[in-house]
Amino acid sequence: EVQLVESGGGLVKPGGSLRLSCAASGFTFSSYSMNWVRQAPGKGLEWVSSISSSSSYIYYADSVKGRFTISRDNAKNSLYLQMNSLRAEDTAVYYCARVSSSWTRKGPFDYWGQGTLVTVSS
Amino acid sequence: EIVLTQSPGTLSLSPGERATLSCRASQSVSSSYLAWYQQKPGQAPRLLIYGASSRATGIPDRFSGSGSGTDFTLTISRLEPEDFAVYYCQQYGSSPRDTFGQGTKLEIK
């Protein structure tokens, strides 16, 4: 069974940093591109970042570029999101999500974690 | 960046009725790299449709997707009580950066 479990969320002050993790199991993690998607309270979905299976291709939304860094450790079946210079508008539930096919870098997201809440407030 | 605009913002219907949700792109979505998701309160989104018209695994056939270019539609032929939720469209292949629409809330009338 495919499972994605996020962790690392919490309360942080503006300007602070946080590192999110996503532990993957039930599939060959190293074969799939992965993504982070966030959802502010009561709002819609916002794509944040993607990373290809071998980390060769990395993309960010303009809203986080230069502040967030996506990475992965295929040996540990884990995806990460390092978030620096956090702002109030970064407050959201952060989901990790898997691209559906191991054959393509881009694709729909067929499995999602349960999300981890990040709150940026003084 | 491709902007996706969903309409209507809220759709009020009764069980058994047909629902038609729209997603319009600011530029053409290549190869119909368009997906639809359903999200219920407190849950992660669930993939319904990909490639504009292909149903994901386990999705009932009352859900169907259509469209190409800049105009896409999600149709639910006969609404079941569990279908009332928020629906999002997503483009995932036309640019390096994915985008989601703002969502359509399907509520019970």
- Give the mean pLDDT of A48-69: 97
Q: Which residues contact A12 (CB under 8 A, 6 or more apart)?
A: A18, A86, A118, A119, A120
Most B-contacting residue of A106, A114, A116 (CB-CB within 10 A), to test interface: A106
Residues of B in contact with A95 (CB under 8 A): 44-45
Q: Which residues contact A107 (CB under 8 A, 6 or more apart)?
A: A33, A99, A100, A101, B50, B92, B93
Compute the distance between CA of residue B17 and CA of residue A7 in angstroms, rounded to an integer: 40
Q: Which residues contact B69 (CB under 8 A, 6 or more apart)?
A: B25, B28, B29
State residue B88's pLDDT score: 98
Separation in Å, CA A8 to CA A91, B46, B59, B63: 14, 23, 32, 36
For residue A10, give the 3-state DSSP assignment.
strand
Most A-contacting residue of B7, B29, B89, B98 (CB-CB within 10 A), to test interface: B98
pLDDT at residue B90 greater than cutoff 80: yes
CB within 8 Å: A108 and B1: no
**Interval B11-34: pLDDT, tens:** 999 999 999 999 999 999 987 799
Most A-contacting residue of B5, B92, B99, B102 (CB-CB within 10 A), to test interface: B92
- Give the mean pLDDT of A58-68: 97
Q: Which residues contact A121 (CB under 8 A, 6 or more apart)?
A: A11, A13, A14, A88, A91
Distance from CA of B16 to the nearest CA of A (A): 27
What percent of chain B shows pLDDT beyond 90? 93
For residue A90, give the 3-state DSSP assignment.
helix
Among chain B residues, the shortest Cα distance to A101 is held by: B50
State residue B50's pLDDT score: 97
Distance from CA of A26 to the nearest CA of B (A): 17
Residues of B in contact with A46 (CB under 8 A): 100
For B49-81, letters b (16+ CB in 10 Å) and e give bbbbbebbeebeeebbbebeebebbbebeebee
Nearest to B44 among A47, A60, A95 (CB): A95
Rounded mean pLDDT of chain B?
A: 96
pLDDT at residue B95 greater than cutoff 90: no
Distance from CA of A46 to the nearest CA of B (A): 6
Among chain B residues, the shortest Cα distance to A36 is held by: B98
Task: Please return the burial class of A101, using the count of CB atoms within 10 Å of its CB with bins 0-12, 13-18 and 19+.
Answer: middle
